[in-house]
Copies of this chain bind each other. A is one copy, B any other.
Amino acid sequence: MEILVPFATDAPKTRLSPILSAAERQVFARAMLRDVVDAIRAAGHEPRVLATGSLSIDASVTVDERPLDAAVNDALEGHFTEGETAPVDEAVAIVMADLALATPPALERLFTADGDVVFAPGRGGGTNAFVSRHPDFRVDYHGTSYLDHRDIAASIGANVDVVDSFRLATDVDEPTDLVEVLCHGAGRSRSVLEEAGFELETADGRVTVTRPDRVSEAGPDERDQSG
């Protein structure tokens, strides 16, 4: 199975800017990417990173500067075009780089599920990972991509399976998502947050994250410039 992990090298994870500086977001995004690559390897596959720019990582990297949809759709087309001389039933998978909770067992459930197209939906209508065994399946990640992707699969006559995984549904985009990393994560992603001083905190019955060692008045980017 060919497995691609798209990764934006420039200004990743901007929605975490209220609590992480630009430099910290770069470090954290790369930590999540490395955790995803490790989990895919532990599930028995060798992933390739599809990056928007050059990247230093112990993995095969293909640079494609185009937006996500164009880069992924080109890769999907290329997979099955090359497949003319290879086994036509070999699958291709796309796994997002911010699935900090991904574990080998969760990924194995995705990779081994039947279906021309197998989705791991993300929270908020997203598509966090999928496997395609159909040469005509293409992506459109804008908006409720999970519903759109189901429509695309139906329009090409592909049968669909869905993997019900909290770990694969949890992409880390916003400050509250860090709660999930500190509760359920491991590896580099969690270490980066712990070393940055993040802790779980309960307020008004809801669990959030806090950085007790930081002065709350200073924005993270200001702090970075002074440090």
Question: Using Cβ atoms and an 8 Å threshold, which residues of chain B touch A205?
Answer: 142-143
CB contacts under 8 Å to B, within A150-182, are: 164-170, 176, 179-180
Are B144's CB and A200's CB within 8 A?
A: yes
> Given the known A-B contacts A124-B176, A164-B166, A166-B121, are A144 and B184 also in contact in the complex, defined by CB atoms under 8 Å?
no
Question: Using Cβ atoms and an 8 Å threshold, which residues of chain B touch A179?
Answer: 124-125
Question: In the complex, A142→B168 CA distance in Å?
Answer: 26
* Number of copies of this chain that the complex holds: 2
Nearest CB of chain B from residue A110's CB, rounded to whole Å: 11
> Given the known A-B contacts A124-B206, A166-B165, are A183 and B144 also in contact in the complex, defined by CB atoms under 8 Å?
yes
A147 CB-CB contact with B under 8 Å: yes
A66 CB-CB contact with B under 8 Å: no
Are B202's CB and A106's CB within 8 A?
A: no
Nearest CB of chain B from residue A153's CB, rounded to whole Å: 15
- Nearest B-chain residue to A126, judged by Cβ: B207
Nearest CB of chain B from residue A190's CB, rounded to whole Å: 13
A28 CB-CB contact with B under 8 Å: no
- Nearest B-chain residue to A174, judged by Cβ: B206
A124's partner among B105, B165, B169, B207 (CB-CB below 8 A) is B207
Nearest CB of chain B from residue A11's CB, rounded to whole Å: 14
Instruction: Show 28 A/B contacts (Cβ-Cβ < 8 Å), sorted by A.
Output: A105-B164, A106-B164, A123-B170, A123-B180, A124-B176, A124-B180, A124-B206, A124-B207, A125-B179, A125-B183, A125-B200, A125-B207, A126-B207, A142-B202, A143-B205, A144-B183, A144-B200, A144-B202, A144-B207, A147-B183, A164-B165, A164-B166, A164-B167, A165-B165, A165-B166, A166-B166, A166-B168, A166-B169
Residues of chain A at the chain B interface (Cβ within 8 Å): 103, 105-106, 121, 123-126, 142-144, 146-147, 164-170, 176, 179-180, 183-184, 200, 202, 205-207
